[in-house]
Amino acid sequence: MSASDLIALLPLIVLSSGAVVMMLVIAFRRDHALTAGITLVILALAFLANFLHPGGTVQVTPLLIIDGFTVFMVGLLLAASFVIVLLGYGYFRVREIRPEEFYLLLVLATLGACVLAASSHFVSLFIGLEILSISLYAMIGYSYHNALTVEAGMKYLLLAASSAAFLLFGMALIYFETGTMVFGGADSGLGAAAGSISIVMLAGLVMMLVGFGYKLALVPFHLWTPDVYEGAPAPVTAFVASISKGSVFAVLLRFFLPFDVTGRPALLPVFLVIAIVTMLAGSLLALLQTNLKRLLAYSSIANLGYLLVAFMATGASAITAAIFFLVSYFVTILAAFGVVTALSSRSRDADMLDDYYGLMWRHPWLAAVLAVSMFSLAGIPLTVGFLGKFYVILASIGSSQWLLAVVLVISSAIGLFYYLRVVVALFSPAEQATRPPAVVAQSGTLPSGQMSASSAQPIAAYSTAGWVALAALLVLLFILGILPDPLIDLINRLVSGGI
């Protein structure tokens, strides 16, 4: 292995060695602040090491490929993990559980996500997926005293195991047909003609798509999503909604893009139906929700459908649109779950819509962040969510995918109702709520950890770290929505050579 290979792998090396250091530190001294600080240092060092990439494409054995796309995705995943640590510090500070192992699991899950983003081989794909999934089992069920949390962990465990089985069977069929486990060589089984594809190859591709569909919560593989989102601790839900799905979508792009889905009559209807049903089902089912976590779960399903629209478009603009939309989704969903985390009390998460009635009068800063997040998810101009959808629609129209563009617009129009319903609740009198909020504070200026006189519950995320993270996300929601050119230029420069 050359020096350039080691430099290219440096972010993964930092995360791996950092996890070992954390285990030793936790074994000798349990200290929440110390562990969270070490986690932030590890993620920051990995982020800096990521941009020491020598440039070009570095193929480190057949397993991993480090190119511009990998550098961008790994940077995005590490930045999102950094934000989740900042948001989760106040959340776990008031919980009656030991929080140190949570940060260890988060580093390991981030390592698995980064391996996925760099995968170019079935073996590395499966290793990265299992590192991510096994860590998530424990993270989702971390608040083990809560029955709903344990239920969510068990559901994710069973369905993640099922998705892994589908992926493995699909890999085996593709290997049988092509004789290779490398992503770039798997398309040799399709034949030269556009319609030429064997039954074995088609079965393998469909089974792999089923496995990816479970991880991405695409319809009809989405049933676990609302239950897991509702039961998992709020910072973990933010991780699942952003980093977990983003890394799997990265490997989906890497694997399926060479197959030219739109030019294959055997594959096109499968992706087309899944994209349309995912967009419509996610938006329609969100209309029925009174639980904010479940509403955001169905919203994330619809947003993954929008990503599939960009995936099915052709040309360099389609890749740019997909990555830009993914960034906009990361920023928006982290901001939304950051508010949920901030309002959660010692006893429960602030997941009911009733928790947000009159929030503008109790915590105007948190209400403003959540309102802007909802505007971004709805695609309101001047927010990054608007430009994300706009670029996806442009890429779809440029590829003559008119049906997908129309369905995306219809789904977005449906989404306006349930997103704006949350905004209306923020400005409505608290008396309209049918149950008391998770945290009721007399003012929005309580110091960190102070007890509210009316609720006798500590304000969970009134920590400096949480405030900094939410402020940064709020600024990005506007900056990227008004001045997207620097980010688009960065995406084009890093991914100019293709995926």
Q: What is the pLDDT of residues 435-487, one digit of tens each?
A: 656 654 333 333 333 333 333 343 444 567 888 889 999 999 999 999 999 99
Chain mean position to CA 196: 35
CB atoms within 10 A of CB 486: 10
CB atoms within 10 A of CB 449: 13
Chain mean position to CA 247: 7
Q: How far apart are CA 389 and CA 307, in angstroms?
A: 9
CA distances, 136 to each of 144, 156, 292, 449 (Å): 14, 8, 21, 28
SS3 at position 181: coil
pLDDT tens digits for range 156-186: 988 888 889 999 999 999 888 888 888 876 6
* Mean confidence (pLDDT) of the chain: 85
Q: Bridge-partner residues for 65, per DSSP?
A: 59
Q: How far apart are CA 439 and CA 425, in angstroms?
A: 16
Tell me the whole-structure pTM to 2 decimals: 0.90
pLDDT tens digits for range 186-206: 655 554 444 567 788 888 888
pLDDT of residue 93: 83
Say if residue 267's pLDDT is above 70: yes
Q: Is the dihedral of CA 160, 163, 165, 171 positive or negative?
A: negative
Return the percentage of the chain with pLDDT > 70, whole number. 89
Rounded mean pLDDT, 348-373: 87
Nearest to 91 by CA among 384, 347, 306: 347
pLDDT of residue 301: 94
Q: Which two tokens stand for residue 273?
A: 């139906």
Rounded mean pLDDT, 40-64: 89
Residue recorded with tokens 């695409």: 218
